[in-house]
Chains A and B, each alone.
Chain A
Amino acid sequence: MNNIISIKDITYTYPDAVSHAIDNLSLDINTNEWLSIVGKNGSGKSTLTKLIDGLIEADSGTIEIDGQTINEDNIWDARKKIGIIFQNPDHQFVGATVEDDVAFGLENQGVPRPQMVEKVDAALEMVDMQDYKTRDPQSLSGGQKQRVAIAGVLATRPQIIIMDESTSMLDPKGRKTVLDLIKRLRHDQNMTIISITHDIEETQLSERIVVLDNGRVVKDGLPESIYNLGSELTNFGLEEPFSSQLTQLLRNDLKLPEGFLNEEELMDSIWKLSSKM
């Protein structure tokens, strides 16, 4: 499989910090993969995002994006391939209205106006916000603002979307609309999704989970294998999935299959147990 991002042995230390924020980290991310990066506060998740986007420069090591090692000369080209949705919807809204904000990235690339109008409309349609085109950000809900932020990123057609805890400030409904949207986009637009999160429900949507701790990759695997860590998960700033907690409790009394079961699998096995009796 192709690696869209290939990180080799990078180390980064914040100015005046004692320890490394990112410590000799290597990571390959496949094209069209949905990868979750988890870890507790200060484990280096957000620093890693900034390094990938070249917003900060690594002390050592290399980052390859779409086959190109990023350096000062091509960083702006690399950045075009990456869109980031940040945590706070209010702090990333640049434009005075929804359409202005969506156009911001295009304006930066110097896209001529007629094409810009088309692309803004198309992006707003993708996130289903076309009716709010002329509204100002103050009149939108958190979920709607994040959808506008996604439209702003989509307008420039990136290959990679990084969600830097972008659902953590949303209510459950807002979170669901944003995640459904990302799921759909990845499917339709063939994008690579990197999701940085504390939310276990969100990691269940991904194909692979990377656990960071102290700037290092400590676990890397399929969601099931990570959930199987059980209570060890809490050390990495994650809560055990509800179904996993329930399975643990039920194992004492019932004979359940080995390994991680999601809610549906758990339901099925319980149901089969009773029918056998």
Chain B
Amino acid sequence: MLAFLARRVFIAIPTVILISLFVFSLQHLLPGDPILVMAGEERDPEVIAALREKYRLNDPIPVQYLAWAGNALQGDLGISLRTQQPVLELIAEKLPVTIQLAVMALAIAILIGIPAGVLSAYKKGTWIDWVANITALSGLSVPNFWLGIMLILLVSVKLGWLPASGYMPLSEDPLQSIRTMLMPAFVLGTAIAATLMRHTRSAMLSVLKSDYVRTARAKGLRESVVLIKHALRNALVPVVTVITLLFGELLAGAVLTEQIFTIPGFGKLVVDAVFNRDYAVVQAIVLCTGIAFILMNILADAAYRVLNPRMSEQ
């Protein structure tokens, strides 16, 4: 297993380099000039010249890339052009927020999606299946921003149960932290639950038809044991793939949801950074997101081997 993990990490290195090159070139292809935005409304030519010099934007792009990559290798991702804050510090500030939101959203999605998927496969064609399908479809179709605003108006303004928006670090006040994240996690979670439910359902349907499930039933095992221990465990392999991909996506930041609930996570940071052409921040976040996706994929591969030991032998 260790050798497998080491091999996968080693293969990931060129991918990371490619991502960083791609992002670097891409954002320099964007129209618009970061210095014009940064120089302020007056756009004083003297200020513009000083800023260009300061941030080395007069250098050719390959030189800028090499300088950036050299610093990044030493753990220095630069500073935000907009706030002067070191980018690494910014990421350290945002990452726990985004991870918390992602974990809570995924937990909600798994709690809803997998049982619903199992149930609707088991009761295929009955009213339960229909209700689960329709609920899943609405979960997917309702736009996050709309659901978010409706929840704020209902739960916060009308009922006063939860804070309308904002964020409280988990370390400062765990209960309040979970309260502030509950609505955004729910909004994100319901959409993901629908995807999970559909995948679980189809995986369960094919597994439930297989010979070993029939054998298990013939042995006289309890139906719950057949369903959960025999069928679900095997049906989970494709579902795990979906979960890891979804988790990777969540880590990239849920732009709209973060914007509506004013959650200071990656999504909001990257959108603001793009609009302000805050190159160092965009570069660092895309890189981190890329690495997160790669890690998720490696973890998924490792999870398959745990769920289905036959895969290790291949």
A, B in one complex: no
Q: Which residues of B contact A (CB under 8 A)?
A: none
